[in-house]
Amino acid sequence: MPKVYSYQEVAEHNGPENFWIIIDDKVYDVSQFKDEHPGGDEIIMDLGGQDATESFVDIGHSDEALRLLKGLYIGDVDKTSERVSVEKVSTSENQSKGSGTLVVILAILMLGVAYYLLNE
């Protein structure tokens, strides 16, 4: 009997040490494999804890990829469990860093304009 995991359990395996992904309702542990993935580790890490079926199929992975996948299989997903969304911590951190820089640039520009106007 394969082990059955809820979407919640899979979502909890979203790094930094553990990465599981779902493809066709099957759960795969890609923690080690991500470093060897020919398409790069980031693409897999972004999908950590989530259903990656669409992305996996869209790329048109070869039979060799399907063979590799078999070795990473750890169980099935409980399709009756509630689907949960995975927080993308790294992405939101980057976004806030980006907007912080923007605020500083805008503040400097506004000071420049104010200085120019005062000296008119």
Residue from 4, 72, 74, 84 in contact with ligand HEM (CB under 6 A)? 72
CA distance linking residue 59 with residue 72, whole number of Å: 19
Considering the complex, state which of residue 11 and residue 69 has its C-beta at the smaller distance from ligand HEM.
69
Task: Write down the least CB distance from residue 71 to ligand HEM, Å.
Answer: 8
What phi, psi does 88 have (nearest 5°)? -95, 85
Residue 109 CA, distance from chain mean position: 36
Smallest gap from Cβ 114 to ligand HEM, in A, equals 48
Closer to ligand HEM by Cβ: residue 68 or 74: 68
Say if residue 13 carries a ligand binding annotation. Answer: no
Query: For ligand HEM, which stretch binds (CB under 6 A), given 30-38, 88-96, 102-110, 112-120?
Result: 30-38
Q: Which residues on neighbouring strands pair with residue 76, listed in sequence order?
A: 4, 26
The Cα 49–Cα 14 span in angstroms is 5
Residue 37 annotated as lining a ligand binding site: yes
User: Which residues are annotated as part of the binding site for heme?
Assistant: 37, 61
* Interface ranges with ligand HEM (CB under 6 A): 28, 30, 33, 37-39, 43-44, 47, 52, 55-56, 59, 61-62, 64-65, 68-69, 72
